[in-house]
Structure 1
């Protein structure tokens, strides 16, 4: 399927587009940038501009200049109007598959946004932030640079996230603190009531990870444990 690119959109020369993408009016996409298939990119979205460093380089990407390590966006994402996604500096800035980035949300340099993530209106991700699969971040939330938001976590609107958000928790406030377990998110991933009760006990540090978790959930938690343990060493 051919891409549908509005004539007012600006696509830089170092941009690779897959198939079936929509790029709306006045959007700007500069490279290095690679975008997969079936993405909807709304009006005035800006993808691939330099990292927001006061003293950093600001090349004219839409005129063929490029700087940074790039942006890679997967498939079937919805990127609404005025979303901004910055170039990486040390690593590639990445957005996975099936994400929904609502209006005016911002993905800073070197961020990783995994699959099926929702960033609500006005969410701001500081540089090097990692948002894991299935996380849902509420309207107007700010995540401090180098933050980690665990798989399946739900962050309430207007929160200030200054420390790690654990998997499948409900977190809210300034500073943001966990207030419960995202039982709805876990049930949608196939967890039974018994497993949900055991998982809640596990998150409180009173038991081991329960048996019977769906494969995808277990894999995400294993990867999370590995990364977080390495960071603490």
Structure 2
């Protein structure tokens, strides 16, 4: 299952059925789970753990040292979950000791060609990073977010669950859960209603979320004032909690 032209360090821990294509390099301190396919000309450096049933296409660079100038060779880590597709030319860097020393990607994600995930990013599950999307260091992306091609996300920004960003979006502040955003710089353009319907959100929940969106983005309230109005709505609508939590978790301010 490992091509004779690949270079695999003896210290790598690779499940018996893992495929490694020609001219790929697997370094020490790398663990690769069952059913994963590594294409040709892929470089995987460690410490890196890759889960099961992932597919990594040619010319991807996974687990390389980060580009942060503060990095001094510390043994930081990269963890990748299961059932991810990592396309051509994707770059994923390990973390830094200035954060948790960890870059983490969840499961069931699609990273399209030439996407970049920088040091200390936390990427959840069921996420799409379209072609040439770039996440700077310390970015958090929550489950089911979709970032359109050429989206650029500034360091330390947070992208909430179920967010959809249009092509060429430049993100300099946090995007709360459920929003559609686009532009340079990113502005809110309503809720990602079609995505929420496809994921089973009820009409009642969507009505409440629309009301919450208008409270935050249409009524010219401060964020604190808006949150005071949203809190009484939480008991009757559990789906509202991720939206409120993403507002409270913001450290850079939210897009408005």
Q: TM-score range by the shorter chain?
A: 0.7 to 0.9
Residue 6 of structure 2 corresponds to none
Instruction: Give the CA deviation at 1:219.
Output: 6.6
Q: Does 1:116 align with 2:131?
A: no
Deviates more, 1:112-121 or 1:203-212: 203-212
Question: 1:31 Cα deviation (Å)?
Answer: 0.3
CA distance in 1, matches of 2:180, 2:66: 30
Select between 70-79 and 189-198 the one with higher mean Cα deviation: 189-198
Query: 2:249 — aligned with what?
Result: 227
1:62 maps to what in 2? Answer: none
Displacement of 1:147 after TM fit? 0.6
**In the TM superposition, what are the counterparts of 1:170-209 in structure 2 within 5 Å?**
170-205=180-215, 208=230, 209=233
Matching residue of 1:36: 51
1:78 to 82, 85, 88: 85
Offset at 1:200? 1.2
The 5 Å alignment of 1:1-233 reads: 2-54=17-69, 56-57=71-72, 67-89=74-96, 90-91=99-100, 92-205=102-215, 208=230, 209=233, 211-213=236-238, 217=239, 220-221=242-243, 224=246, 227-228=249-250
- Partners of 2:104 and 2:75 lie apart in 1 by 13
Q: What TM-score comes out, normalization by structure 1 length?
A: 0.87
Aligned equivalents of 1:176, 1:131: Cα separation in 2:
15
**Structure of higher CA gyration radius:** 2
Aligned-pair CA distance for 1:192: 1.9
User: What is the CA-CA distance between 1:98 and the residue it aligns to?
Assistant: 0.3
Q: Does structure 2 conserve the Cα–Cα contact (< 8 Å) formed by 1:50 and 1:68?
A: no
SS in 2 for 1:205: helix
Query: For the residues of structure 2 that align with 1:46 and 1:147, how far apart are their CA atoms?
Result: 23
Q: Secondary structure at the match of 1:204?
A: helix
Q: Write the distance in 1 (CA, Å) between the matches of 2:146 and 2:117.
A: 14
**TM-score normalized by the length of structure 2:** 0.80
Segments of 4+ in structure 1 off by > 4 A? 217-223
Q: Which runs of 5+ in 2 are unaligned?
A: 1-15, 217-228
Deviation at 1:204, TM superposition (A): 2.5
| CA pair 180-219 structure 1, distance change in 2 beyond 3 A | closer
Equivalent residue pairs, number: 220
